[in-house]
């Protein structure tokens, strides 16, 4: 099996496409994992990553049948809209609302494994577009798998950064759930288009642009609100240490 420059360029393109198509996926996963104790975040993400690898390999081989899974988008969209509705209709104060709800047992599973299962289901709902695009870009199975797997690794890194950012600025959580609501609407519209209920699709560039605008506005608002109390104390302690160190040098 020869590897050409064209194959390498195609893999790079697939990684970039995966990153663009998975921006909303990464945000949803970050919010879901935040409900677990901080010590379990990385373990949940690792298991989610393994599951994503397995699903990607199987689904790529069965890509021609994925169009029949349009119902997955409907279920995923409804679930994401439920998450957003539950967040904003809880009646809690802004500070309480921005504290991610604790993960709970589900279907007889512990809170941890229930969260991992939800992450896998979200991966399933979001992966359909990515796989179909990848198969359309290259007919070579190994190229599609390599690009997809590297793209998943890149998404895992993005999720880690989002977790750190949300923990530092909790006010971003409200904006994140607005994005989650929009993603839910987008998935339902894609399902409606797939079954012929509507005759249009929302361009990926418009969807991604809207997500970026909401996230930037949320981040700017969160910056004005300031970091989480624990983070603010840590920053103050670090600043004091640096100031004392600088004074000792003088």
Largest CA distance in the chain: 73
Buried b (16+ CB within 10 A) or exposed e, 130-144: bbbbbbebbebeebb
Q: How confident is the model at residue 129 (pLDDT cuts 50, 70, 90)?
A: low
The predicted structure's pLDDT at residue 233: 46
Average pLDDT on 162-166 reads 83
Per the structure, the count of domains in the chain is 1
Q: Give the pLDDT confidence score for residue 113 in this predicted structure.
A: 93
102: three-class secondary structure by DSSP: coil
With a pLDDT cut of 90, the percent of the chain lying above it is 6
More confident residue, 189 or 26: 189
Q: Which of 111, 116, 110 is nearest to 49 (CA)?
A: 116
User: Domain range spanning residue 77?
Assistant: 5-249
The tens digit of pLDDT for each residue in 171-229 reads 888 888 898 888 889 889 988 988 889 988 888 778 878 888 988 898 898 888 877 66
Q: What is the DSSP letter of 38?
A: G
Split at pLDDT 50, 70, 90, the class of 118 is: confident
Let me know if 227 is exposed, middle or buried by CB neighbors in 10 A (0-12, 13-18, 19+): middle
Report the chain's mean pLDDT, rounded to a whole number: 77
- Reported as a single tens digit per residue, the pLDDT across 62-116 is 765 655 667 777 887 898 898 889 888 877 777 777 676 678 888 888 999 999 9
Residue of higher predicted confidence among 163 and 63: 163
Q: What is the pLDDT of residue 112?
A: 93
pLDDT attached to residue 238: 38
150 against 244, higher pLDDT: 150
For 7-21, 53-67, 168-182, which range has the lowest pLDDT when averaged over its residues?
53-67
């Amino acid at each position: 099996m020869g590897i050409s420059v064209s194959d390498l360029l195609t893999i790079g393109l697939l990684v970039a496409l995966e990153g663009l198509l998975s921006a909303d996926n990464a945000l949803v996963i970050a919010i879901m994992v935040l409900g677990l104790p901080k010590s379990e975040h990385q373990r949940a993400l690792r298991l989610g990553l393994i599951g994503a690898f397995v699903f990607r390999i199987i689904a790529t081989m069965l890509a021609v049948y994925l169009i029949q899974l349009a119902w997955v988008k409907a279920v995923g969209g409804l679930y994401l809209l439920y998450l957003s509705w539950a967040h904003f209709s809880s009646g809690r104060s802004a500070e309480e609302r921005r504290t991610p709800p604790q993960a709970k047992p589900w279907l007889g599973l512990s809170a941890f494994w229930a969260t991992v299962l939800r992450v896998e289901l979200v991966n399933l709902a979001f992966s359909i577009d990515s796989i179909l695009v990848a198969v359309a870009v290259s007919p070579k199975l190994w190229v599609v798998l390599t690009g997809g797997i590297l793209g998943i690794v890149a998404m895992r890194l993005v999720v880690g950064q989002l977790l750190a950012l949300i923990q530092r600025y909790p006010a971003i959580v409200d904006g994140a759930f607005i994005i989650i609501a929009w993603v839910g609407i987008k998935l339902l519209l894609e399902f409606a288009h797939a079954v012929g209920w509507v005759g249009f699709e929302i361009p990926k560039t418009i969807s991604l642009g809207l997500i970026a605008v909401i996230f930037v506005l949320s981040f700017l608002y969160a910056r004005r609100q300031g970091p989480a109390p624990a983070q603010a104390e840590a920053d103050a302690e670090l600043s004091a240490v640096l100031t004392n160190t600088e004074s000792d040098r003088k």
